[in-house]
Structure 1
């Protein structure tokens, strides 16, 4: 006999009304001296024998299996009641320590009954793989509500059959409900599994029931993860893979982990809790057995990527952050679904994945910084935006979209601890970080990386032979940096003060460019252009202006300002500094030199036209700009 049988919670005997309506062909007349209880227990055994032997699998070896819980649900209910009564009788006689023959008879019947229930349990699990999919279970039930309602569902099914057998014309309440056929099948399957599991566990056959459950449900978890694309790869295997092979696997994992935790494992946890609701310990061990290995494989994939330091490089940073964010977002569900102490290894594996991914992110950020410092690419002709600037800022813009994950990862490694710069450089009162230390960490790191870039650009600017072009190059690149910050999530992180400060620096660079690049033109005219001066001095002023303007124009026609708004601002600023003074001088002295092209080469509007062609780096460009509007407004009526 099962040793655990006698430690199970005794069930109450069948109601006396049950025995009154059944007379077992195996029953014996009551003997003198028998107590009422003993007579009742004998009847339980007799009734159980009649029902159980009717459905004995050995009696139908050569017939097609006919599920008891499908073909005749009233018989299924009677079968479970018979086992309950049999169990009560066994407890009764064991307690009396007598009537060993009755105990043996009852035990033999119990084995036959359990063999039948094992088969029924297996058939229901196998036949309902589609109905019992994790998504349906997790969406149809919750751990609490399902436990309380599942038995009611089973009783409703039996009541329905009884009502239909007595009043065929009556429509059942469930038939009138809005529950779909698939939901109904799910409820019935869970109710049947629970009823069988309750009966087998109470009878001391919980292990056999659990073994069948594990056999079916573990294969479902493994198959689902396989179809989701989850592979078991260690870090050495990952290091040997080409990135174009590994990256699709990472994408599949990111998609799979959410489905696995929120749907697959969550649904299996609910189903386990429902089926084995009579024993929390069995429910825990069952779920542990079917899910632990698969869950460890799932999270070890992310950990092994973080451990594969040989394949880490800045371009892989965002995949590591995607994996880190996926686990962080799922952490409440991970703690809930894998809350059992027996699944602590799964929680530990998920945490280890976060730690290793965090380490990998820090390594790749350091690699990114080193790559900036080691860049040896040439400066672009014309002083435009350097490719390094575009690469770094686009990288940082994407990085800003992962501010939450980056903040968590960098919270314990503030960049200010490793630099001689004042702390005020890395934050501002208006920054998005506020007083949050974790947000301040990413603000500091981003500010530092931008500073590394700007320092590198300072070194590249000196490679230009023309100082004015160096300042234009710095203005273009810093303006690009500020624009990228302002128009992305970086703006919230860096703050308005940082944006304003660096925008002011752009203006200073442009002022230096104008001073160094156009001083020869601006200073060629008298300080007071309307003053009376000798004719020879007038001629000399025109010659100096012509020479300076032509030289500057020829030199700067190949220079570029990629930002249209900044380009217009520079043209307007140059026009304000050059055209008004020249116009005044031109109008004062032009009459004396009409027709002398070598002396007076340009009318004021000609200067506006020439200036409008600058900074396109193509010898000319579109003149539909705000600068052109300004130029038109400054041109007076012309006459020679």
Structure 2
């Protein structure tokens, strides 16, 4: 009775193998003209997967009694058919993985295909094919250019960092999460396998991206002029870090490397700001400019700070990273405000180098005006236009007028016509090469000088006009022509 049941089972298994052989022959791996899984053969694809599973079970059945000579022959046949079926599935796996964005149906096929290969003992081939295809795709689509960037000079990195920033954001927030989801889906039968496959596929590419960030930060060398690129990198790493921690895992090497790069970017940024402050302090105080103009240091620093204000969020995070125990130190506006104060102290020191008092006050008026204009462009400092202008007028414009036109006013008070005219001509001649920070500042200077001099000269002219060559209109026109102004009609 037992022998009959065994014979019946053998017959059933042999018929199953025969049916599988027909399907395997139809979809032989050497035939690449059509895809079992992509070209509308859904029902037959399911049959093929079941046939492959049947062949694996047949092998186990025939192997259970190795003493039976018939079983040995059948085992060899089933093994050969299973190997052929697995090579076909490996081909189908390559075709499915060649899709840039597999639809949901293809994901289901991928998972079923992988489950079948893994269950049949062909997991190594399945995993190897998956890794090979996706490593190449990631390298080709997202990191070919960035890998080379890590070998470039700073100037070349600077020229290309924007491309890297875009690539890094896409890779860490979209590409790698999608890859992780794909691995989890395809190898859902064994989570540890999915994790291992993802790491092997993605880790090297992620490391290549992070290498560019590391290179950019390292080559910045805390130089102030390179700070903005460091802040760009810091912003990008801050943005993608949560995704990195979630996708790769908090204890992964990728996460550790990203955290380290972020920390070093913060250190480099703080170092660049400290070096900028030191550079301002070291600027020679006696290095002045002709005509009391805005000093190049003032222009550089204030334009730098206005640009820096766009990164206040990053600066807040970086300052807090460096001093987490105090929320006050995390305010970017305090860092910017401190640099403004350091600059103003240096400008005041430079002003003292001018021997001519009027030129010294003009220099201070111009530079303070320029600083006020730029400070007003940084809302977080809380200083409006009126505040800066009032400071400029009260402390420097009035002092300039007193120093530049004091001799004229003194001569008018002494009622000496000849001395008055000589003083006017001398004062105008001295100021002809002096400059204003901008047209607005020029108007302020001309208006202040006109208000201080012309009314008094007009009164003096009424009493002593017969002895004077210069009319009030002449004096008014001469003042109006200073600092790039246009002379007015002298008949007024």
Give the TM-score normalised by structure 2. 0.86
Establish whether residue 281 from structure 1 lines up as the match of residue 192 from structure 2: yes
Establish whether residue 50 from structure 1 lines up as the match of residue 18 from structure 2: yes
Which residue does 2:226 correspond to in 1? 316
Alpha-carbon offset, residue 118 of structure 1 = 3.8
User: 1:138-169: per-residue Cα shift (whole Å, max 9, x none)?
Assistant: xx6xxxxxxxxx3xx3xxxxxxxxxxxxxxxx
Query: Which has the larger share of helix?
Result: 2
Establish whether residue 505 from structure 1 lines up as the match of residue 391 from structure 2: yes
Which residue does 1:231 correspond to in 2? 148
Alpha-carbon offset, residue 547 of structure 1 = 2.0
What secondary structure sits across from 2:287 in the alignment? coil
Match 1:384 to one of 293, 296, 300: 293
Which residue does 1:303 correspond to in 2? 214
Larger radius of gyration: 1
User: 1:404-451: per-residue Cα shift (whole Å, max 9, x none)?
Assistant: 11221122556xx9xxxxxxxxxxxxxxxxx964652x2222122222
What secondary structure sits across from 1:555 in the alignment? helix
Alpha-carbon offset, residue 501 of structure 1 = 5.4
User: Does the 8 Å contact 1:266/1:337 carry over to 2?
Assistant: yes
Match 2:129 to one of 212, 230, 245: 212
Equivalences for 1:22-61 in 2 at 5 Å?
34=5, 45-56=13-24
Give the whole-Å Cα distance in 2 for the aligned partners of 1:340 and 1:58: 48
Count of matched residue positions in the alignment of Structure 1 and Structure 2 = 487
Give the whole-Å Cα distance in 1 for the aligned partners of 2:380 and 2:160: 32
Cα gap change, 1:57 to 1:615, in 2 (>3 Å): same
Alpha-carbon offset, residue 228 of structure 1 = 3.6
Give the whole-Å Cα distance in 1 for the aligned partners of 2:48 and 2:27: 16
Give the whole-Å Cα distance in 1 for the aligned partners of 2:109 and 2:298: 66
Establish whether residue 261 from structure 1 lines up as the match of residue 261 from structure 2: no
Which residue does 2:268 correspond to in 1? 360
Which residue does 2:481 correspond to in 1? 613
Match 1:81 to one of 47, 50, 56: 50
Alpha-carbon offset, residue 371 of structure 1 = 2.1
User: Does the 8 Å contact 1:197/1:275 carry over to 2?
Assistant: yes
Cα gap change, 1:576 to 1:91, in 2 (>3 Å): same
Query: How big is the alpha-carbon RMSD for the aligned residues of Structure 1 and Structure 2?
Result: 3.6
User: 1:317-345: per-residue Cα shift (whole Å, max 9, x none)?
Assistant: 2221111111112223323332386xx11
Cα gap change, 1:51 to 1:372, in 2 (>3 Å): farther
Give the whole-Å Cα distance in 1 for the aligned partners of 2:345 and 2:312: 24
Structure 1 unaligned runs (5+)? 1-29, 141-149, 154-187, 418-434, 527-536, 594-598
Cα gap change, 1:525 to 1:480, in 2 (>3 Å): same
Cα gap change, 1:59 to 1:321, in 2 (>3 Å): closer
Structure 2 unaligned runs (5+)? none
Which residue does 1:458 correspond to in 2? 348
User: Does the 8 Å contact 1:114/1:200 carry over to 2?
Assistant: no
What secondary structure sits across from 1:560 in the alignment? coil
What secondary structure sits across from 1:525 in the alignment? helix
Match 1:516 to one of 398, 403, 411: 403
Which residue does 2:313 correspond to in 1? 404
User: Does the 8 Å contact 1:90/1:103 carry over to 2?
Assistant: no
